[in-house]
Structure formats: structure tokens, C-alpha cells
Structure 1
Amino acid sequence: MADLKSWKMDFESLIPDRKSQTDPPGYDASIAKDPIGMLSSSKAKDKNALARRQQALYAKATAPIKQVGMMCFMAWMFGNSIQIFSIFMTFNLISAPVSAIMSSGEVFPRDEEWKQLDTLTPRALYCLVNLGQLIFGLYKLSAMRLLPSSPSDFISTMPVPPVLEHAYPAL
């Protein structure tokens, strides 16, 4: 049989010796002990954090662009005929951006910790994106002839303008 003493391991050699260990790459002991160096690096971190927060606000402001584009495309695909689905779609084209614009203050609140943070520009961009959907919804209402477009729509004594074209089904 094999001698078991040859398999013995000396654990005393595994005790870490501080002098034999080196610092990891990028570690500077003088910066770790210097409080002024720490303050200057925290200011840089704050600047980076401010830039990241500003980027997050712009990302939040431009997030509805895909949704607005899809809603406008779906409304265009429904056509201008007066049907229940196209009327509901048009109502949604108008009501969703109005509620989004009204609640933009909750989406972009003022942060008391970050007073340098610009929330006005992303909020204006967010409102502009939603205003585009609102304008398309009003255009859709006009194309469906649901908006008043002549004086006779408001005053009953005025004559109705003549119809310029007629559509007849195929025989």
C-alpha cells in the first residue's frame, strides 16, 4: 500500500503574508487615504450621475414616439368611414395625448436633490410628441367629417353648401 504520509499537506504555508501580496491594478493607497481626493472624485461621480439622470429624462420623453407612430398608422389603416371602431380609435387618438400632456408634471417631477437637472426641456419634448398624436386625431376627425367645417354647421338659418361629389355602389 502507498504511504499516507506522502499525501500530507502543510497548511502553514497558506497563511497570507501582507508583504508578498500586491495591490490590485488601478488601486492607489494615497488616494484612498486622502479625503480631498475623495471629494474631487465624488464631484466627478455627481457630474456623471447628473448626466445619466438627464439621459434618463430624455429617454422617458421620447418613449411614446413608437406608440404614437403605431396609433397613427392604425388610425390610417381604419380609413375615414364612420364606423364604431374608427370612431373609438379617433376618440383614443384625442383623449390619450390630452391626458398624457395633463399628467406630464407627474412624469417629470422636480427633484430637490438635483436642482441642476433640466426637467423643462424633456417635458416640452414629451408634450410635443403627444401633441403630434393630438393633431393627427383632429385631422382624422376632420377627414371623417365629424368636425364642423362650414357656417351652416353652427347657424341653422344658413343654407347647407352643395355636395361636390357622390359615391354610388357598383351594380
Structure 2
Amino acid sequence: MSSKTPSVPKWVVDLQHPPTLKSKAGSIPDPPGYPSQSTALSKKQASKEPKTQPRKQPTPEEMDTLKLKKAWEVALAPVKNLPMTAIMMYMSGNSLQIFSIMMVFMAFKNPIMGIIGTNQAFERFESESNKTKLIQAKLAYVAMQIVALAVGIWKVNAMGLLPTTRSDWLAWEAQREPLDHAIPAF
């Protein structure tokens, strides 16, 4: 068996040795305040030494704070969608058509699925030290989902599908018994 060293791919060589910048061709001078790239790069390289410092890892307290901020962003996200949802529902009209029915279906489905999946939405932000603080964000999330559900209820009421008037319940009302009877004369 011969021991051959594996050849390095061309892209690795290109990354390790970038091509040199070509000189500016033509007689067009640089605009005032904008030197050519080659002179700007050489001045920067000459004046600065490479100062690369490794990024400091965040402390657990900082990570908990960041996770809590992200959790609050997730908790308030349903409210950010409400104006567009309300406008779409208003524009779809109050008649029973396929588009308005689909809008109402989505207005009920999304908040209900959001309430059911509350723990899954916040599990990536949860740690032992911020469990109690995360409960407030979860409650706010559920409250925002209930507000989104209220927009769906508003739409159903506007379509006339909620039984809110007396005429909607006439089938269950007892018929009035008259107190007097009138007999017509012949």
C-alpha cells in the first residue's frame, strides 16, 4: 500500500490564500474621501495589528435574562398578528362564503392550538432558575391567545351565527296562552 496524502480541495486553498486585488485600471480618479480599496487596505493593515479576542461566554444569569426576554417576545407575538387578522376578517364580509368561513375557522383554530401548545412554545426557554419567572410569560401568552379567540367570536357574531337575539330561541319558547277569546259575530 502506498501512503498518499489526500489532496486539499481547491476551495480550501483559495480560502487560505485569497487572490490579490487587481490595480485600478483606467484614468478615473477616486472620488474625494473614498480612496481605492488597495490603498485603504494597505493603510489599515499597516496601522492596525490583528486584535482578535475570543468572545466571552455569557454567565448563567445573563442567559436566563436573555431567555426571559425571548420568552416575552413569544408571549406577545399573538397580539402582533391581531390587527392583520381583524382587517382580513372585516374585509371578508359577513356573508357565508368559503373565504369568510375559512377565516373564521383559522381564527378559532390558531388560538386553540396555541393554548394547547403553550408548554411546547416555552420549553426551550425554561431552566431551573427561571421557572417561576416564565409562568408570567406563559399566562400572558394564554391571555393573548384568548384575545385572539375573542376576535374570532366577534366575527362569528358579525356574521349572525351566534344566537344572541330572542328570535334565535323562538323554537324553545312556550306559546302564549291568551287571556280572552274573541268570537266573531255572524
Please classify the TM superposition score into its range, dividing by the shorter chain length. 0.5 to 0.7
| 1:70 to 1:111, Cα distance in 2 relative to 1, 3 A | closer
2:10 maps to none
Correspondence 1:127 to 2:142 = yes
In the TM superposition, what whole-angstrom CA distance separates every residue of 1:70-101 from its partner, at most 9, and x where no partner exists?
Answer: 11211111122222211111121112101111
Runs ≥4 in structure 1, deviation > 6 angstroms? Answer: none
TM-score (norm 1): 0.59
Residue aligned with 1:109, SS: helix
Over aligned residue pairs, what C-alpha RMSD do you find?
2.9
The percent of aligned pairs where both chains have the same amino acid is: 28
Residue 149 (structure 1) aligns with: 164
Gaps of 5+ in 2: 1-50, 175-186
Any conservation in 2 of the 1:109–1:119 contact (CA below 8 Å)?
no
Task: Give the unaligned 5+ runs of structure 1.
Answer: 1-23, 27-41, 160-171
Distance 2:150 2:136 in 1: 21
Instruction: Pick closer, same or farther for the CA change 1:158–1:61 going to 2, 3 Å.
Output: same
| Residue 72 of structure 2, aligned match among 47, 58, 70 | 58
Relative to the length of structure 2, the TM-score reads: 0.55
2:106 matches 1:106: no
Note closer, same or farther for the CA distance 1:82–1:99 as it changes in structure 2 (3 Å cut).
same
Question: Does the residue aligned with 1:147 lie in a helix, a strand or coil?
Answer: coil
- After superposition, residues 62-141 of structure 1 pair within 5 angstroms as 62-109=76-123, 113-117=127-131, 118-141=133-156
